[in-house]
């Protein structure tokens, strides 16, 4: 299992594990716990969206680990219920000096596509600046 390169409390809480982050590609695994399910007893769409967001962002960062990324926009399509251990695979489609365009897919325990997303991310320096009031801020300019 790999390290994300930054402490992400929400990702730790959900229990995502990173298995690949190189060459513009990423792979994450996720096994939903009961608190991550919806009323139909399948992985909640919000947990799936977060998995996709992190998968795309990780693919975007795979060749620039000194930078973080912030999500500018993301579109997801849900095709089937997400059951069992999930595998998410991401790919950096295109990048510029400041932006990344990525896509990713979540597969269920049988290897069937559950959901797919595309997203745009902005590269930001890893160390956020401090505002006058001592609060940490991240520039998206």
The per-residue DSSP string of 32-99 comes to --GGGB-TTSSB-HHHHHHHHHHHHHHHHHTT-TTEEEEEEEEEEEE-S---SSEEEEEEEEEE-SSE
Q: What pLDDT sits at residue 134?
A: 65
Other beta carbons within 10 angstroms of residue 101's beta carbon come to: 17
Q: What pLDDT sits at residue 132?
A: 58
Domain assignment present for 133:
no
Identify the domain containing residue 19 by its residue range: 9-126
Q: What pLDDT sits at residue 94?
A: 98
Domain count, the chain: 1
Domain assignment present for 3:
no
The span from the CA of 129 to the CA of 4, in Å, is 21
Q: What pLDDT sits at residue 6?
A: 76
The tens place of each residue's pLDDT in the chain, 141 residues long, gives 677 777 889 999 999 999 999 999 999 999 999 999 999 999 999 999 999 999 999 999 998 878 899 999 999 999 999 999 999 999 999 999 999 999 999 999 999 999 999 999 999 987 655 555 666 655 554
User: pLDDT for 102-129, tens place per residue?
Assistant: 999 999 999 999 999 999 999 998 765 5
Answer whether 92's CB lies under 8 Å from 62's CB. yes
Domain assignment present for 132:
no
Q: Report the CATH number at residue 58.
A: 3.10.129.10
Residues, the chain, total? 141
Q: What pLDDT sits at residue 137?
A: 58
Three-class secondary structure of residue 114 per DSSP = strand
């Amino acid at each position: 299992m790999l390290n994300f390169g930054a402490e992400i409390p929400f990702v730790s809480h959900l229990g995502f594990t990173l298995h690949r982050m190189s060459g513009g590609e990423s792979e994450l695994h996720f096994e939903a716990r009961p608190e991550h399910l919806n009323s139909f007893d399948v992985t909640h769409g919000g947990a799936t969206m977060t998995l996709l967001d992190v998968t795309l962002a990780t693919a975007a960062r795979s060749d620039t680990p000194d930078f973080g990324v912030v999500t500018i926009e993301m579109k997801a399509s849900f095709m089937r219920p997400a059951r069992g251990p999930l595998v998410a695979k991401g790919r950096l489609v295109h990048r510029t000096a400041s932006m990344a365009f990525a896509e990713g897919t979540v597969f269920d325990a049988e290897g069937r596509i559950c959901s797919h997303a595309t997203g745009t991310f902005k590269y930001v320096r890893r160390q956020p600046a401090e505002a006058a009031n001592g609060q940490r801020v991240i520039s998206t300019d």
